[in-house]
Amino acid sequence: MTLPGEDLLVVDGLTVRFGGLTALHDVRLSVDAGTVVGVIGPNGAGKTTLFNVICGFVRPQSGRVVWRGEPLVRHRPEHLAGLGIVRTLQGLGLFAGLTVLENVMAGAGRHARTGVLPALVGAGRSARDESDLAARARATLGELGIADLADRLPGVLPYGVRKRVALARALVAEPDLLLLDEPASGLFAELVELSTLILSLRRHMAVVLVEHHMDLVMQVCDRVVVLNFGEVIAAGTPAEIQADPRVAEAYLGDPAEEAPDA
């Protein structure tokens, strides 16, 4: 158990290059237990790459990821749920051939270490484990208001509902750190509910939120880190970030670089 105010995750001096492109340069940020940290920045700023490094999908050229005081060395995505870290993908990442309930059950890697495939073929887990897991998955769907859709296939559901299924799949693992990559993309009416939900998650877990919807970021985040071309150009409270001219400049472009009048 990590207490509120303790660093849960520290990302220290991360540099990632893809060939000649520097996607992240000397990036540092920390996430305390029980807080929501926003990571914002224009398209291509390196936000998803940061998640990919935290998750072990991408190895940095330098720097490290420290989890509960221990550097993560050669960690792999499949170890994450066991560590207590879960992410949602920038898209949906749902299995089209599985029902909503099965998709959510597939997310419970931390509590069901035998994995998805044995669960689906009914091996490796006792019937008791299986029904406990199904009950937890149903309860999570209930918390997100979609319990009645448990037996449907995701493909027939509206996009906003599928986003909820993806979120339920992350939450069912009961992570200590939830990495959300653009949870609001494609959502309109549901934005208020999403902000209420994220705020309620803080009692149970820390959240890193990558998001382009600024209203949402400013409402739910305790701290915000701004990336631009792979570098942290500002970090602070939402109010500090909103007042920071470097942030506006990163989003709007530098007026000095506009084409001169002909």
Size, binding site for ligand ATP by CB under 6 A:
12
Q: Which is nearer to ligand ATP, 175 or 230 (CB)?
A: 230
Q: Which is nearer to ligand ATP, 172 or 234 (CB)?
A: 234
**Contact call for residue 45 and ligand ATP (CB under 6 A):** yes
Measure the N-to-C terminal CA separation of the chain; round to a whole number of Å.
63
CB neighbours of residue 2 within 10 Å = 18
Site string for ligand ATP, 66-95 (x = CB under 6 A): ------------------------x-----
- DSSP code, position 90: S
**Contact call for residue 47 and ligand ATP (CB under 6 A):** yes
Phi then psi for residue 178, to 5 deg, are -115, 125
Q: Which residue of the chain is nearest Mg ion when measured via CB?
A: 48
How far, in Å, CA of 43 to CA of 23, rounded?
11
With contacts defined by CB under 6 A, name the span among 5-13, 39-47, 139-147, 201-209 that binds ligand ATP: 39-47
- Going by C-alpha positions, the residue among 111, 97, 101 that lies closest to residue 165 is 101
Q: Indicate the residue type of 230.
A: G
For Cα atoms 200, 233, 178, give the angle at the middle one, nearest 5 degrees.
25
**Contact call for residue 48 and Mg ion (CB under 5 A):** yes
Q: Give the binding site for ligand ATP (CB under 6 A).
A: 18, 21, 23, 41, 43-49, 90
Q: Give the binding site for Mg ion (CB under 5 A).
A: 47-48
